[in-house]
Each structure stands twice: as structure tokens, then as C-alpha cells.
Amino acid sequence: MSRSVLDRSVRVALAGWFTATVLSQHPHRVFDGLRRFDRLGLIPNWRFFAPIPAQHDYVVLYRLVRADRSTGGWQRPSQPCERGWTSVLWSPQRRHVKSVLMVCGKLSGVVASAGVQGVTENHLYRILREYVRAEIASYPASERENAVAFQFVVVKSGGYDPGVKPKFIFSSPSVPL
């Protein structure tokens, strides 16, 4: 085989691979048929983001209830982590934030279908409740002084878009510590 035939063959193969890769990234799933012929997994799937990207965030806030039934101010369980330039490639500290967002999003669907009364029996509510309880337990005892219970709310916000007004999703009943 001559060198020019080999060069052309490699170029045609790479051009075909590039074309198949680009076509298989199309949002319409009809182009996924190309992967049927890809026995070695050479066609990557870069559809990492949803077809409709998130337009909002969910925020969890909680407050402590003291023995005299007075309440403290609303607080955020954990602040969003700072992002550095390496976050583009690796950001494992964001995983818990993303999981809380996912639980809140699914819980808002439960609120819409089952109503507020049905939420407290749901496993998503229990996950969120224990997340807040663990956050409170991590604080020094002096900050939890006289606290006998807590309450949390889920709010839908515009994230970094100040033009979107926050929307109340769910308020928990008072949960004993």
C-alpha cells in the first residue's frame, strides 16, 4: 500500500468519525442510530446538558425553634462553594449542592401532585429533613442553645438572575431536634 493511499484512507476515516460524532450530538434522537454501528464506543456522547437547561435554583432555608416557641432567623444550611479556575474540570465539592437541588426539584413535583400533607410521608422530604438536621448538629452547642426543633422551607429562585422573583414551594412542620 502506497503512502498516499494510506494518508487518504486515514483522512477519510477521521472525517467520517468526525461527521458521525457531530451528527450524534444532535438533540433529536433519530441520529442515535449511528451508535448502533459503533461496537468499540468510538463515537462520544457529549449531550451532557439537558435539552432545556435549568432556569432556576432551589434554596433550602431553616430556622431554629426555641423552647419558648420563639424562632430564629432563616439561614442557609450550606453556602454555595467558591469556584476556582479548576472547577471547569473538577469540582467534587459541588456534588452535595447538586444533590440537594435534585431532591428539591423532585420534592416540588410531589408537592404539586400530593399536596403539602402528602409530602411529609415521602422519602424526599425525609432526606431533606435529615440533611438540615445534620447541618444543625454540626454547629457548636452554643449556637443551638435552647433550640428544641427546627423548620425548613424550599424556595425556587432565579439563581443569578435578579429579575426572577423567588417562589415559595414548601414549608415543613416544626421538626423536633
Say what the pLDDT of residue 15 is: 94
Domain ranges (residues) in the chain: 3-37, 57-176
Say what the pLDDT of residue 150 is: 93
Say what the pLDDT of residue 10 is: 93
Q: What confidence tens digit (pLDDT) does each residue in 55-85 have?
A: 678 889 999 999 888 888 888 886 656 667 7
Say what the pLDDT of residue 91 is: 66
pTM of the model: 0.63
Return the exposure string of 8-22: e unless at least 16 CB atoms fall within 10 Å of the residue's CB, then b.
eeeeeeeeeeeebbe
How many whole angstroms separate alpha carbon 14 and alpha carbon 141?
63
Say what the pLDDT of residue 2 is: 76
Beta-carbon contacts of 65 under 8 Å, excluding residues fewer than 6 positions away, are 71, 147, 148, 149, 150, 151, 174
Judge whether 65 and 172 are in contact, CB under 8 Å. Answer: no
Beta bridge partners of 63: 151
The C-alpha angle with vertex 163 and arms to 96 and 89, in degrees rounded to 5, equals 35
Report the Cα–Cα distance between both ends of the chain, in Å, rounded: 78
pLDDT by residue for the chain (177 residues), tens only, comes to: 678 889 999 999 999 889 888 888 777 777 777 778 888 888 887 766 655 566 678 889 999 999 888 888 888 886 656 667 776 666 666 677 778 888 888 888 888 777 767 788 888 989 999 999 998 888 887 777 788 999 999 988 877 777 778 888 888 988 998
Name the grid cell of 41.
Answer: 464506543
Beta-carbon contacts of 155 under 8 Å, excluding residues fewer than 6 positions away, are 58, 59, 60, 61, 166, 167, 168, 169
Say what the pLDDT of residue 152 is: 92
The C-alpha angle with vertex 138 and arms to 116 and 156, in degrees rounded to 5, equals 35
